[in-house]
């Protein structure tokens, strides 16, 4: 039996148990989850606490959650108006007021999802399971239609290393600018599905709303669920992805909230942990970066907040996330991966000046992720 088939059998044997041994599942998943037989989507659903370890509860849990998601679509993606309402109504209860306010959020989401993972064709292509309520509504419930009715000139945010945005004005041309084009009535592209999930998330989480970068977090989860060979998982990829994303955001949302930057769950705390990790494991590199005043904020803000989703190809990101989701000390291993990345380019860093080192870390070179993960395992102190 090949090693690959042996690993598939190990997962399937474990998942056949009536109550899944989470510790054993984490150990298996930490070393990578095979894509065969819908294993990765299923294991991610367990590791992200979407379905419980008790196998007998899976069907009822999934049915309930998928029905709830359809309810969200029916109740939240609505058209404004009514017999006593009109666009100029300034009442706080006016559905038009909510509609216009929602459009501000939607404009940002729309810009981000139209360029999600441009190096692969997946998000531009049609889903085989479009939402019938949406795609057969003569455009009324299509979110991108609302955006098209808004201003055509807009500022687009381009991430540059820090995660700090650089503003540039451009005219919205879905062909020349590289933005994805919506599909015709009766069908929808995968990016339109992602747009809907993010809009619903923003509406259901008003305290946080939508923050740029969330599209990079939801993208790999949805891609994993929507491309599996398991037909049922593909059919319900949208609803399942939404709840897995919601659970993941509950764990990392503090990264996106500026007022919590200095807390133990905030991003500055995480960047400091990375700096300490480098100092403890490669003092020469740490000294070099300190001397150059090359702070972790210049490169690791994006690494940490987006769970490295911008630094590697999508298949590599999904492999890294197998380990991150399997880590019982959530995101402790993320710091080790980031430290390993720095150590694996140490020769370049030690010989480079400030400018070349910033460029290197902000545009991390292609590398076999197994090398990075193996190095990170060496660094982890449990």
* Higher per-residue confidence, 279 vs 105: 279
- List phi, psi (to 5°) of 381: -110, 100
Structure tokens at 198: 């993010």
Confidence at residue 86, expressed as pLDDT on a 0 to 100 scale: 47
- 268 — pLDDT class (breaks 50, 70, 90): confident
* Higher per-residue confidence, 60 vs 82: 60
When pLDDT is averaged across residues 291-320 and rounded to a whole number, the result is 94
Pick the range with the lowest mean pLDDT from 118-127, 141-150, 287-296, 348-357: 141-150
For 131-178, the pLDDT digits (tens) are 998 888 777 777 877 766 554 433 333 333 333 333 333 323 244 456
Pick the range with the lowest mean pLDDT from 161-170, 207-216, 255-264, 275-284: 161-170
- 371 — pLDDT class (breaks 50, 70, 90): very high
Residue position matching structure tokens 């979110």: 143
CB 163 within 8 A of CB 119: no
C-beta contacts of 201-204 below 8 A and 24+ residues apart:
201/242, 201/245, 201/246, 201/249, 202/105, 202/109, 203/76, 203/102, 204/72, 204/76, 204/246
CB 343 within 8 A of CB 285: yes
Residue position matching structure tokens 């599209």: 215
Confidence at residue 95, expressed as pLDDT on a 0 to 100 scale: 54
Q: Is 19 helix (H, G, I), strand (E, B) or coil?
A: strand
DSSP letter for each residue of 28-80? HHHT----GGGHHHHHHHHHTTSS-SBGGGHHHHHHHHHHHHHHHHHHHS---
For 12-38, the pLDDT digits (tens) are 999 999 999 999 999 999 999 998 889
Interatomic CA distance for residues 72 and 230, integer angstroms: 25
């Amino acid at each position: 039996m090949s090693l690959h088939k042996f690993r598939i059998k190990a997962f399937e044997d474990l998942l056949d148990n009536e109550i899944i041994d989470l510790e054993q599942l984490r150990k298996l998943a930490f070393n990578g989850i095979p894509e065969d037989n819908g294993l990765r989507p299923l294991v991610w659903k367990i590791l992200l606490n979407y379905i419980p370890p008790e196998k007998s509860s899976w069907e009822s849990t999934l049915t309930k959650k998928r029905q709830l998601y359809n309810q969200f679509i029916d109740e939240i993606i609505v058209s404004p108006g009514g017999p006593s309402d009109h666009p100029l109504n300034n009442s706080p209860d006016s559905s038009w007021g909510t509609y216009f306010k929602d459009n501000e959020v939607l404009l940002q989401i729309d810009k981000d999802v139209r360029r999600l993972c441009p190096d692969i064709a997946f998000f531009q292509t049609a889903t085989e399971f479009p939402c019938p309520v949406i795609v057969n509504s003569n455009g009324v419930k299509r979110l991108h239609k609302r955006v098209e009715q808004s201003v055509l000139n807009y500022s687009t945010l381009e991430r540059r290393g820090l995660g700090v945005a650089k503003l540039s004005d451009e005219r919205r041309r879905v062909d020349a600018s590289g933005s994805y084009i919506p599909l015709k009535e009766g069908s929808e592209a995968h990016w339109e599905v992602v747009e809907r999930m993010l809009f619903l998330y923003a509406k259901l989480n008003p305290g946080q709303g939508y923050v740029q970068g969330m599209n990079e977090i939801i993208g790999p989860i949805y891609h994993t669920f929507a491309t599996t060979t398991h037909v049922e998982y593909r059919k319900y990829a949208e609803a399942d992805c939404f709840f897995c994303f919601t659970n993941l955001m509950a764990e990392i949302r503090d990264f996106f909230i500026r007022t919590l930057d200095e807390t133990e769950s905030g991003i500055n705390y995480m960047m400091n942990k990375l700096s300490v990790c480098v100092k403890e494991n490669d003092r020469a590199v740490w000294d070099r970066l300190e001397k150059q005043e090359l702070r972790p904020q210049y490169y690791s803000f994006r690494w940490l907040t987006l769970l490295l989703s911008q630094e590697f190809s999508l298949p590599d990101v999904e492999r890294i996330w197998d380990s991150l989701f399997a880590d019982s000390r959530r995101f402790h291993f993320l710091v080790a991966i980031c430290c390993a990345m720095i150590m694996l380019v140490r020769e370049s860093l030690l010989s480079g000046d400030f400018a070349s080192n910033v460029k290197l870390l902000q545009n991390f070179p292609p590398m076999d992720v197994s090398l990075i993960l193996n190095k990170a395992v060496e660094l982890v102190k449990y």
